[in-house]
Chains A and B, each alone.
Chain A
Amino acid sequence: MPIRTVMKANEAAAWAAKLAKPKVIAAFPITPSTLIPEKISEFVANGELDAEFIKVESEHSAISACVGASAAGVRTFTATASQGLALMHEVLFIAAGMRLPIVIAVGNRSLSAPINIWNDWQDTISERDTGWLQFYAENNQEALDLILIAFKVAEDERVLLPAMVGFDAFILTHTVEPVEIPDQEVVDEFLGEYEPKHAYLDPARPITQGTLAFPAHYMEARYTVWEANENAKKVIDEAFAEFEKKFGRKYSKIEEYRTDDAEIIFVTMGSLAGTVKEYVDHLREKGIKAGAAKLTVYRPFPTEEVRELAKKAKVLALLEKNVTFSVGGALFQDFSRALINQKEKPILVDFILGLGGRDVTFKELDEVLEISKKALAGEEFDEVNWIGLRKEIL
Chain B
Amino acid sequence: MAESPFKADIERVQKEYSEKMTPGAIAYIPGSSVVNKTGSWRVFMPEFNRDKCVRCYLCYIYCPEPAIYLDEENYPVFDYDYCKGCGICANECPTDAIVMVRETK
Measuring CB to CB, which residues of chain A are less than 8 angstroms from any residue of chain B?
97-100, 160, 198-199, 205-209, 211-214, 216-217, 220-221, 224, 228
Q: Which of B1-32 contact A (CB under 8 A)?
A: 17-18, 21-28, 30, 32
| Chain A residues closer than 8 Å to B36, beta-carbon distance | 212, 214
Q: Is there an interface contact between B25 and A199, defined as CB atoms closer than 8 Å?
A: no
Given contacts A208-B32, A208-B33, A211-B32, contact A99 B23 (CB under 8 A): yes
Number of A-B contacts (CB under 8 A): 47
| Chain B residues closer than 8 Å to A221, beta-carbon distance | 21, 25
- Cross-chain pairs A/B with CB under 8 angstroms, 15 sampled: A98-B24, A98-B26, A99-B23, A100-B24, A198-B23, A198-B26, A199-B24, A199-B26, A206-B30, A208-B26, A208-B27, A211-B25, A213-B25, A217-B25, A221-B25
Given contacts A216-B18, A217-B17, contact A207 B27 (CB under 8 A): yes
Q: How far is the CB of A215 from chain B (nearest CB, A)?
A: 12
Q: Is there an interface contact between B21 and A211, defined as CB atoms closer than 8 Å?
A: no
| Chain A residues closer than 8 Å to B26, beta-carbon distance | 98, 198-199, 207-209, 211
Q: Which residue of B lies closest to A223 (CB)?
A: B21
| Chain B residues closer than 8 Å to A208, beta-carbon distance | 26-27, 32-33
Contact with A along B55-76 (1 / 0, CB 8 A): 0000000000000000000000
Known: A160-B24, A207-B28, A208-B26. 18 other contacts (CB 8 A): A98-B26, A99-B23, A99-B24, A198-B22, A205-B28, A207-B26, A208-B27, A208-B32, A208-B33, A209-B24, A211-B25, A211-B27, A211-B32, A213-B25, A217-B21, A220-B21, A221-B21, A224-B25
Q: How far is the CB of B19 from chain A (nearest CB, A)?
A: 11
| Chain A residues closer than 8 Å to B23, beta-carbon distance | 99, 160, 198-199, 224, 228
